[in-house]
Structure 1
Amino acid sequence: MNKQQLAAKIWESANQMRSKIEANEYKDYILGFIFYKYLSDKLVRVAKSENFSDEDLRALPEDDTEAVDHIKGKIGYFIAHQHLFSTWLELQGDFNVSHVRDALSAFGRLIHPNHKRLFDGIFKTLETGLSKLGDTAAKQTKAIAELIQLIKDIPMDGRQGYDVLGFVYEYLISMFAANAGKKAGEFYTPHEVSVLMSEVIAHHLKDRQTIQIYDSTSGSGSLLLNIGQSIAKHMADKNNIRYYAQELKENTYNLTRMNLIMRDILPNNIVTRNADTLEDDWPYFDDQDPVNTYDPLYLDAVVSNPPYSQKWDPQHKDADPRYARFGLAPKSKADYAFLLHDLYHLKPDGIMAIVLPHGVLFRGGEEGAIRKQLIENNHLEAIIGLPANIFFGTGIPTIILVLRQKRESSDVLIVDASKGFAKEGKSNKLRASDVKKITDTVNSRTSVPRYSRLVPKTELQANDYNLNIPRYVDSSEPAESWDLYASMFGGIPVSELDSLAEFWQAFPSLRAALFADNGTPYVAPKVQDLAAATRAHPEVANFGQAFTTAFADITLWLRQALLAHMLTLHIPQQEALISAELFARLANVGSVPLIDRYHAYQILADHWQPIATDLEILQTEGFDATRVVDPHMVTKKKDGKDAEVQDGWKGHIMPFELVQATYLTQELDALRKQEARLGEITASIDDAFDGLSEEEKSNDTVNDAGDKFVSAAVIKEAKALQAEAEKPGNFDPESYEAKIIQVADWLAEEKTLKATIKQVAAALHLKTKATIEALSDAQVHELLERKWISPLVDELHSLPDQQIDGLISKLEALVQKYQITYADNARDIQRTETALAGMIEELDANEFDLKGLAELKTLLAGN
C-alpha cells in the first residue's frame, strides 16, 4: 500500500485501540513507539554498514565499550540486541511490558555525551504513561503488543527515496489533533497554514547558502519541519539548514525532538530546549562552558504559533532586551510578548512569521503602543487575515503577521484571505489554490481588488495605527439591489450589466449583440435564447479557440515533464514547474484574464497527489513496480473477530479498471451488457411488485414485511399455475397469475445471469492481473498517460466553458429578475380578486355565512 493508505490504516486501527484513552494522551504512546522503532532500525542499519553481522549484533553486550562507543559515535546512542524493536516482534507470545521498561531505561544510560541534550529524557512521556495502557501488567502487555504489530510495517529504511515515515508521523499527529479538541492547539499547526508560512519564509531566504530557523513555541515540530522542507527546495545541500526549537510542555517538547530526529536531520543541526519562552529567553551561553558557547542567537527565520491571548507576568521585564525597545504586553494577553521575543532573535536581514488572534490588530492600551512602534520602525511587512475556524480547538479569526528586522519600504501589505477556504465537517480548510494565491500575493507584494492592498504608512498613522483589515481591504460581496424603475416597468438596469465588466472587456461587441440600448439607463434583450446567442458569438468562440490554441500541445508537454524522466525528476519542483507552465499558457488566452489561474492551479493540485504518490513508488521501487499486482486485503469477521483476508488482486500502480478500459474492452463490454441486463430484470421485478394490489400482496408469494417477492414461493406458484392452465397465454396479461408466471421467468433468468456474471468477472479479474504483469514499456507509458495526464488535461479544457456558462447564468438571472414587474403582479392579483368576487355572488348559504361572504367581497374590491 502507498503511504496515504498505510497512514490511514494505522490511524483507523489506533483510534479504535485507544478505547477510552484521550486522543491527546494516546498520541504520545503510538508516536513514542514509532520513534523507538526508528532508532532501533537505524542502529541495525548503521551497524551493518559498519560490517556488523546479525550474529555480531546479537552477541554485542552493553559492556563492550569499544564497539558500543563506536556505534554511539555514529548515531549518538546504543540499543542492545535484546532491546531492539525487531527483538520484541520475535518474542511474540513471550513479549512483556517489562521488556519495554527495561529497554527505555537502558536507552537513557547509553546516550553519547555529545548528544545528551538531544536524546536525554526523550522517552519520559512514554515511560510514565505505560501504566495508563492498562491497570495490570497483562493488559499493558496486550495493548503494547497490539501497538507494535500495528506500526511494524512502517518503512524506516534510509533507502526510501520518499519520506514514508515522516508522512505517517505527520498524518497521525494531524488526526490526533483533529480528535483532541482544544488541546490540539498545544502541539499542532494545520498543515496548510504551515505550508503557507513556509513558502513566504522560503521565498525570502532562497538565495542563502546556510540558514538557521527557530520556532519559539515548537509544539510537535511540524511547522519547523515544513519551513525546512520549503527552504531545502532552493538549496543544494539540505544539511546547511540548522533547526532551533523551544517548547514549554515536556511531553510536547519530546514530540518536537522525535519529529526532528526522524527526518534525517543531522544531530548537530538540531538544537532544542524545554523552557518557558517568555520567562526564560534562549540563553546566551551554556552554563557549563559560558566563555566558548556565548551566542545571543540571531537567526535567519523565526516562526511560531503561540497560545492565543495567554496570561503572563510582565513584572520586572522592563530591562529585558526583547521588550525594552517596544514596551510590555498586558499581563492578560501575551500575544505581543511572543511577537517581540521572535523579532528580537532575527538577524538584520531575517524574516519572521507568527500566528496571532485578530485582536492584536486593533486592541488599544499597551498593545496599541507596541503596534505603533512596530509600524513606525518599519518592522511590519504583511498582515494575512485567515478564515475563521481554521485551527484545531478554536473558531476565532486568526492572522499571520510577517515582520522583518530591517526594511527599505514603510508600506504594509494587507491581505484579506478570509473568504478562501473549503468546508470540511465543522472546520474550514485552506485549499492548495488558497495557499498559492496568498503566497504569490505576499511574495510579489501586489494589490488585488477586494483581496489585498499595499497601505502606505501615512494612512496607518492617520488611522491611529489601527490595523483592522476591513479598514483597508473590503472583501465583502456587494449586497443585491433592486432597481425601483425596472421593478415597476421592466427593463434591465445598465448599472447591473456593468457589474459584468470583465466579460464586456473580453467580448467588446457581445453586449450590443444581446441587449438593445435605447439611450435610457435600461436595456432590453435582443434575442430569445441568451445562451445560444452567447455561445454562437464570434468573440466567445474566439475565446474558446484561443484557449485551445494555448493548450494545444499540453499533453505532449506533460509527457515530457512527467513520463520522460519519471524515475529521476524532483517531485516537489516538478509540481512548481507544471504550475508555472499553466500560468504562462493562461496568460496567452486573451488580453483579459477571464479564467482564474488559481482555479487552474487547484485542478493541478487535486490531480497532483496521486501522481506524486505513483512517482514516489517508481523512484523507490523502480519501473517494474508498474507491473506489480498486490493482494487486495479486506477486513472480514472470522470466528467472531475482525481478520484481514485476501479478496482478489489490485494493481500496485495500475488500476484494474483502467487496464480493462484500455486493453480488455471486448471482455469488459460483454460483462457490462450482462450487468445491464441484470439491472433491467431487477427493475422489471420491482415494477411488477409495485403493480400488485394490496390484496395480492397478502399472498404467500410476498414476504411478511410486504416489501418484496419470496423467490421460492413465486417459482412454486408459477409452476402450479402453468400446470393448471391449458396454455400459459390464457391468462389476462394484467392478471395476478400472468404477473407471477412472468416474475418466475425473470427470477430464473436473474439467478442464471448472476452466476454467469460472477464467473465472467472472475475471469476478467485474472486476465487483468495477467495483463498488468505482462505490460510492455510502451503500454506502461500509455496507461500512465491515461492515469496522470488525460484526466488533468480534460478538466483544464473545461475551464472556458465554465466561464461562459457562468456568464450565461448571470445574464439569465438578470433578465428573469425584472421580467415580471410589480405592475404585472398587481394586475394578476386584481384579476384574481375580481374573479373570486364574482364566484362569491353565485354562492348560497345561511344568513351569517352570507354576511361573512359580503365582507370578504368588500375586501377583495379594495374597500
Structure 2
Amino acid sequence: MNKQQLASRIWESANKMRSKIEANEYKDYILGFIFYKFLSDREVEYLKKNDWEDGDLPELVEEDKEVVEQCRHNLGYFIEYRNLFSTWISMGRDFDASNVTDALSAFERLINDSHKKVFSGVFETLQTGLSKLGETSNARTKAISDLLQLIKDIPMDEKQGYDVLGFIYEYLISNFAANAGKKAGEFYTPHEVSLLMSEIVAYHLKDKEHIAIYDPTSGSGSLLINIGHSASKYMSRDSIRYYAQELKENTYNLTRMNLVMRGINPSNIFTRNADTLEDDWPIDLESYPPVLRVDAVVSNPPYSQQWTPEGKELDPRYSEYGLAPKSKADYAFLLHDLYHIKPDGIMTIVLPHGVLFRGGEEERIRTNLIEKNNIDAIIGLPANIFFGTGIPTIIMVLKQQRDNNDVLIIDASKGYVKEGKNNKLQASDIKRIVDTYISRKNIDKYSKVVSRSEIRANEYNLNIPRYVDSSENAESWDIYASMMGGIPNAEIDELSMYWDAFPELRDLLFAGDGTPYSSVKVENVKKEIENSADIERFRKKFTDSFADFDDVLRNKLITGMETVQVSKEEAVIGDDIFARLADVPLVDKYAAYQILDDNWNTIAMDFDVILTEGKDAVRGVDPNMVVKKDKEVQDGWKGRILPFDLVQKELLRDELAQITEKERRINDISSEYEELIDNLTEDDKQSDILNDTQDAFNAKGVAVRLKELRNADTEEEKALKVTLERYTALSKEEKNLKKAVKDMNVELHMKTKIVIENLTDAEVEEMLYRKWIFPISAGMKTIPESIVGDLEKKVQALSSKYANTLTDIENEIHSAEAELCKMLDDLVGNEFDMAGLACLKKLLGGE
C-alpha cells in the first residue's frame, strides 16, 4: 500500500469517526490498534517458528503457564488466543467492544518485569479513550470494528520505503489537527530532514562498535529510528542503545510503539515520559555528576516555546552558557542536548532561524557557544518543509570537542522539489549537504567555512546571508548593446564553464570586431552546436564513462543477487556513478545520483520480497484486491515483482500490438464522427440526431431519422441519409471493436499471468534488468543532451536579447510615422478638419 492509498483510507475512516471523537484524538486510536496488531502478529509468528500450527492457536490460553512464560521471556508479553487481533477479525458479529478492554487489561497484567519500561502503559491512551467511541456498547463495538477492518490492511513490515506510523502521525496532524499540533508543538520531523541529520551523525560514529543515541523530544521516534538505520550501515543494529524522552503521554507511547515495531530489541530501548527542561535525563547514578552522556543527541524541539528559567542558574546544563529567555526555550533545548553528548560525540538539532541572530540572552549563549568552539556547522533548510508551519528552519551541528575552530555554513534553502503545498528535500539534496559537511568546502552560493574572527567581526551574528549569498544574479542590460546592437563579451564570458568544456565552440558561434562586443555568426545555432567536434567529444566521453555500467549493475544486482546488502548498495552504486563522472565536465553529479534514487525504492522493495521468499518470487502472481462498495474484492491479478504491463511490452508484443491497432482504429472512428458532425447543416445539428451539446450522435434519433429518409428525394436528404448510414456503420464497427478489445485484454491479462508463472531463468533476469537497470541507464543517457540543450537555450537567449536595438525600434517608428503621413495626405474635409490633420502631421514629423 503506497502513501496515497494509505492516506485515502485514513481520510475516509477519520471522516466517519468525526462525530464520535475529536480529530486530534483519532491518531491515538488508529496508532494504538496498529501497534496491538503488530504485537499480536509478532507472537503468532514467534510461535509458528517454534513448531506451532494454525490449528494449535486456540490452545493459547493463560492457564498454560509454560507457554505464557516462554512468550513473556522471549517477547516481553503474552496475548492469549481470544485476545489476538486475528481472532477479533474472525469473530464477525460476535465481536464486542469489551473484547478490546479485556485484552488491553490482560496485556498490561502479563508484561514481563524485564520489559515493563517498554510496554507498561503503552495502551493507556487507547484504553481510556474507548468510551468516547460511542454512548452505547453497540455504538462502541461498531466504531471499533470499523477501525479494525481498516487496520488489518495497513502494512506492518519495513518493506514500504517509508515510516508507516510516522506517516500516519504526520498526515493526521497536518490534515485534521494542524492548529492543535501547533499549540502542542507537535511538528513531525519529515523523513528527509530526519535522514539528513541521521547521515551526518552516522558518518561521525562510523568507526564505533557500540553507540548510544538520545532524542529528548522524541515525538514519533522517527529521528532515533533513522539514525539507527543509518548507523547500521557501519555496525550491528543490536550495538545501538536508544534513549527517548517525551512530554506528551500519547506521543511518548507512540515513541515506544514505533521503536518496537522497527525491530529494535526492547532491552536496548530506554524511554521516559517527562519534561526534558524540568527533569534532566538520562542519568547514570554510578557517575558524578549523575549524568548519562551518549554518542549522539538528535532533536526537533517545539520552536520558541515558553519555559521556566527561574532557579536554573546553577543547573550544570546551562550554568556555563546562560539561560534562554522565558519566551523562547530554543537554546535551553540545545544546551540540554549538548550537555548529554560525550567529549567525542555529536548532536544535531532543528531550530528556527531566529536563534542565529536574536539578541539578549540568546546572543550571550550564542557567543559562549562560539568562543567555547561548540558549533560545528549550520545548515539552512528550505521553507515549508514541515507540516503545520511555514517557518524557515536550520539544522545546527555541535560537538563538545573539535579539532578545528571555524564554522561551516551551508545555505541549502534552494534545494528542494514541490510536493503539494510543501517543499521536500530530494535524495540528491541530502547527499549534496552531507558531502559538503564532510568535505567542509567553500562552494559559491552554497557553503562557506567561516573563521571565528569573521564571526567576531559580525558581533556573533550567524545569520546565513551574512556569509553565504545564495541569491540569483540580477539580469543586467548593456546600454550600448541595447542602443546599437551586438552581444557584450562580458555576458558571453558568463558562460565560461561551457567554453572551458568546449574550447573551440565559442569561436564557432561568435564573431568579434575588436570591440567589447560580438555577434552570432551562424544562422542555425542549434545545428552548429549539435554538430560541433566539442559536443561530439563530450558525448563520447560521457558514453565511454558508462560503457560497462549496465553490466556492472546486472552482475551486482541480478547475477549476485544473493549477496546484495540492500541497505548499503545504493551508496556503493552512487559512489560508482560519482567516480565515472569525475572527469566529465559540466555534469551535476547529484542530478545523476537522483536518477539512481528515483528508481532505488522500487529495487529495494523488490529485494525485500526476493531475499525473504527466494528468487522464485519473481514468478509470483497474486490476486489484485480492490475496495468496491466498502468490500474488498479481487479485480484480476498482479505480479508480485513484475508489473503486467512490463511483461506484455517485452514478451507479448504481438498480442499487445493487435490490441493497440484496434484501439487506434477506435480513435480514428471518433475523428470520423467529428467530421460527419461538421458536415451537417445547422438545421440538422439542431435536430434529434445529435445530443443536447451537439458534439455526438444520438443513436435513437439517428434510427428514427433514417426511417424518415427511406425514400429521400432531395439532394440534401440524400446527403444526410449517406451521413447517417455512415454513422450507423461506424457505430456498429466501434461497438464490435470495443468488445473485441475488452475480450483481448482479458485474454492478454490471463496469458500474462501464465507467462510470469512460467518464466525461464534467463527471462527472469531479463525482466529484472528491464525493471531495475534499464530505467537508470535510460535516465543517465538524458544527462548530456540536457546539458547541450541548456547551452543552446542560453546562446539563443543572448542572441535574442539584443537582436532588436533601440535604434532599430526608433527607425521603425519613423518609418511608420512617414507612412501614416502619406495616408493623411489622401484625406479630405472642411477647413477645420484639414487644420487638425496638418497639426497631427507636424507632430508626426511631417511638413
1:118 aligned to 2:123? no
The within-5 A match list for 1:100-249 is 100-154=100-154, 162-163=158-159, 167-179=163-175, 180-182=177-179, 183=181, 186=186, 188-235=188-235, 237-249=236-248
Q: TM-score, normalised by structure 1?
A: 0.93
Q: Residue 706 of structure 1 aligns to a residue in which SS? A: coil
Match of residue 307 from structure 1: 302
Match of residue 644 from structure 1: 632
The structure-2 alpha-carbon separation of the partners of 1:857 and 1:403, relative to structure 1 and needing over 3 Å to count, comes to: same
Match of residue 547 from structure 2: 552
Asked if the contact 2:187/2:386 (under 8 Å) is kept, the reply is no
Look up the equivalent residue of 1:273 and give its one-letter code.
R
Q: Residue 699 of structure 1 aligns to a residue in which SS? A: coil
Asked if the contact 1:732/1:738 (under 8 Å) is kept, the reply is no
- CA deviation map 1:482-503 (0-9, x unaligned): 0000000000001111111110
Write the distance in 2 (CA, Å) between the matches of 1:293 and 1:151: 48
The within-5 A match list for 1:383-394 is 383-394=378-389
Match of residue 695 from structure 2: 707
Write the distance in 1 (CA, Å) between the matches of 2:842 and 2:99: 96
The structure-2 alpha-carbon separation of the partners of 1:181 and 1:734, relative to structure 1 and needing over 3 Å to count, comes to: farther
Write the distance in 2 (CA, Å) between the matches of 1:780 and 1:448: 46
The structure-2 alpha-carbon separation of the partners of 1:294 and 1:261, relative to structure 1 and needing over 3 Å to count, comes to: farther
Write the distance in 2 (CA, Å) between the matches of 1:265 and 1:478: 49
Structure 2 runs not aligned, ≥5 long = none
Q: 1:518 aligns with which of 513, 523, 540?
A: 513
The structure-2 alpha-carbon separation of the partners of 1:299 and 1:717, relative to structure 1 and needing over 3 Å to count, comes to: same
Look up the equivalent residue of 1:252 and give its one-letter code.
T
Look up the equivalent residue of 2:761 and give its one-letter code.
D
The within-5 A match list for 1:663-682 is 663-682=651-670
Write the distance in 1 (CA, Å) between the matches of 2:74 and 2:547: 55
Look up the equivalent residue of 1:533 and give its one-letter code.
E
The structure-2 alpha-carbon separation of the partners of 1:581 and 1:173, relative to structure 1 and needing over 3 Å to count, comes to: same
Look up the equivalent residue of 2:711 and give its one-letter code.
E
Match of residue 74 from structure 1: 74
The structure-2 alpha-carbon separation of the partners of 1:193 and 1:850, relative to structure 1 and needing over 3 Å to count, comes to: farther
- CA deviation map 1:121-158 (0-9, x unaligned): 111111122233333322221121121122224566xx
- Of the structure 1 ranges 32-41 and 704-713, higher mean CA displacement relative to structure 2 is found in 704-713
The structure-2 alpha-carbon separation of the partners of 1:8 and 1:573, relative to structure 1 and needing over 3 Å to count, comes to: farther
Look up the equivalent residue of 1:247 and give its one-letter code.
E
Q: Residue 281 of structure 1 aligns to a residue in which SS? A: coil
Residue 689 of structure 1: how far off its partner (Å): 1.3
Match of residue 409 from structure 1: 404
Aligned-pair Cα RMSD in Å: 2.5
Residue 92 of structure 1: how far off its partner (Å): 1.2
The structure-2 alpha-carbon separation of the partners of 1:855 and 1:281, relative to structure 1 and needing over 3 Å to count, comes to: farther
Q: Residue 561 of structure 2 aligns to a residue in which SS? A: coil
Q: 1:537 aligns with which of 508, 529, 532?
A: 532
Asked if the contact 1:83/1:103 (under 8 Å) is kept, the reply is yes
Match of residue 757 from structure 1: 741
The within-5 A match list for 1:786-801 is 786-801=770-785
Write the distance in 2 (CA, Å) between the matches of 1:656 and 1:63: 50
Match of residue 783 from structure 1: 767
Write the distance in 2 (CA, Å) between the matches of 1:786 and 1:547: 22
User: How many matched pairs?
Assistant: 842
Write the distance in 2 (CA, Å) between the matches of 1:410 and 1:453: 14
Match of residue 766 from structure 1: 750
Q: Residue 608 of structure 2 aligns to a residue in which SS? A: helix
- Of the structure 1 ranges 420-429 and 565-574, higher mean CA displacement relative to structure 2 is found in 565-574
Q: Residue 771 of structure 2 aligns to a residue in which SS? A: helix
1:831 aligned to 2:804? no
The within-5 A match list for 1:30-41 is 30-41=30-41
Write the distance in 2 (CA, Å) between the matches of 1:491 and 1:475: 30
1:608 aligned to 2:600? yes
1:820 aligned to 2:815? no
Q: 1:630 aligns with which of 605, 622, 625?
A: 622
Match of residue 747 from structure 1: 731
Residue 854 of structure 1: how far off its partner (Å): 5.6
Write the distance in 2 (CA, Å) between the matches of 1:847 and 1:741: 70
Percent identity for Structure 1 against Structure 2? 54
Match of residue 724 from structure 1: 711
Write the distance in 1 (CA, Å) between the matches of 2:233 and 2:717: 75
- Of the structure 1 ranges 432-441 and 103-112, higher mean CA displacement relative to structure 2 is found in 103-112
Asked if the contact 2:155/2:164 (under 8 Å) is kept, the reply is no
Write the distance in 2 (CA, Å) between the matches of 1:710 and 1:594: 60
The within-5 A match list for 1:334-413 is 334-413=329-408
Look up the equivalent residue of 2:79 and give its one-letter code.
I
Match of residue 676 from structure 2: 688
Look up the equivalent residue of 2:700 and give its one-letter code.
A
- CA deviation map 1:265-296 (0-9, x unaligned): 111110001111111111535xxxx6699951
Look up the equivalent residue of 1:101 and give its one-letter code.
T
Write the distance in 2 (CA, Å) between the matches of 1:192 and 1:178: 17
The structure-2 alpha-carbon separation of the partners of 1:782 and 1:4, relative to structure 1 and needing over 3 Å to count, comes to: farther
Write the distance in 1 (CA, Å) between the matches of 2:326 and 2:788: 56
The structure-2 alpha-carbon separation of the partners of 1:124 and 1:487, relative to structure 1 and needing over 3 Å to count, comes to: same
Look up the equivalent residue of 1:772 and give its one-letter code.
I
Residue 425 of structure 1: how far off its partner (Å): 1.8
The structure-2 alpha-carbon separation of the partners of 1:164 and 1:701, relative to structure 1 and needing over 3 Å to count, comes to: closer
Write the distance in 2 (CA, Å) between the matches of 1:862 and 1:118: 95
Write the distance in 2 (CA, Å) between the matches of 1:52 and 1:759: 46
Residue 836 of structure 1: how far off its partner (Å): 2.7
Q: Residue 682 of structure 2 aligns to a residue in which SS? A: coil
The structure-2 alpha-carbon separation of the partners of 1:772 and 1:12, relative to structure 1 and needing over 3 Å to count, comes to: farther
Match of residue 588 from structure 2: 596
Asked if the contact 1:166/1:262 (under 8 Å) is kept, the reply is no
Q: 2:442 aligns with which of 420, 439, 447?
A: 447
Structure 1 runs not aligned, ≥5 long = none
The structure-2 alpha-carbon separation of the partners of 1:505 and 1:15, relative to structure 1 and needing over 3 Å to count, comes to: farther
Asked if the contact 1:154/1:165 (under 8 Å) is kept, the reply is no
Match of residue 88 from structure 1: 88
Asked if the contact 2:306/2:328 (under 8 Å) is kept, the reply is yes
Q: Residue 645 of structure 1 aligns to a residue in which SS? A: strand
- CA deviation map 1:422-444 (0-9, x unaligned): 11122111111111111111122
Write the distance in 2 (CA, Å) between the matches of 1:845 and 1:453: 76
Q: Residue 650 of structure 1 aligns to a residue in which SS? A: strand
